[in-house]
Amino acid sequence: MKNKNKARVLINANQKGGVGKTTTATMEAVIAALPNFNFKVLLIDWDGQGNATSLLGKTFNANFPCSIMHCIENNDLQMGITELSENLHMIAGAKDIKNLVYFLENKYPNSDPNFIENRTFHFSKLLDSIKDNYDFIIIDVGPSTDIKVDNAMVCADYITIIQETQTY
């Protein structure tokens, strides 16, 4: 049953790279948006490597207007949304996401009595402005445990820890 209120936010995470976070996130987004399921999905590439952006950009022959970091700097997520198909939209990732740490430190200096909370929940407030437009928002986070990932994690309704599968 579709969520008629706000999107559910999903994150696949692991501190280690190469375990399948991006593959899982992109496949979840593509499959959920198929006519069989017919969910409206936004995939946000939060990883500085931008592999989800590269993969889906090539698959859907898409050009992205700007990165997620550019959207955050301009306080406008809508400006970065690219329609890949009727039900699948995406905001691109790029190396500039590393600047989020400095952006948040400048926006919320240590002299701000709530600087930790404000830094941690900055993105969550932006995401709330577009949640009504989607059934699911999937955020592809990189292998990290810093304020960048914290900003994504506090948005999540569900977090799956992806485990690399090997014979031994």
CA distances from 38 to 26, 30, 50, 146 (A): 16, 10, 26, 34
Give the single-character DSSP code of 37.
T
pLDDT digits (tens, 9 = 90+) for 36-86: 999 999 999 999 899 999 999 999 999 999 999 999 999 999 999 999 999
pTM of the model: 0.90
Contact 20, 161 (CB under 8 A): no
For residues 135-160, average pLDDT: 86
Q: Is the pLDDT of residue 1 over 60?
A: no
- Least confident stretch, 4-13, 88-97, 106-115: 4-13
Predicted pLDDT at 40: 97
Judged against a pLDDT cut of 80, whether residue 4 lies above it is answered with no
Phi, psi at 55, each rounded to 5°? -60, -55
Domains delineated in the chain: 25-161 (3.40.50.300)
- Residues sharing a CB contact under 8 Å with residue 28, sequence separation 6 or more, in sequence order: 10, 12, 136, 138
Q: Tell me the DSSP string of 65-109.
A: S-BHHHHHHTT-SGGGEEESSSSEEEEB--GGGGGHHHHHHHHS-
**Structure tokens that stand for 105 in this block:** 């430190």
Instruction: Give bridge partners of residue 8 from the DSSP assignment.
Output: 136
**% of the chain residues with pLDDT over 70:** 89
Coil, strand, or helix at residue 122? helix
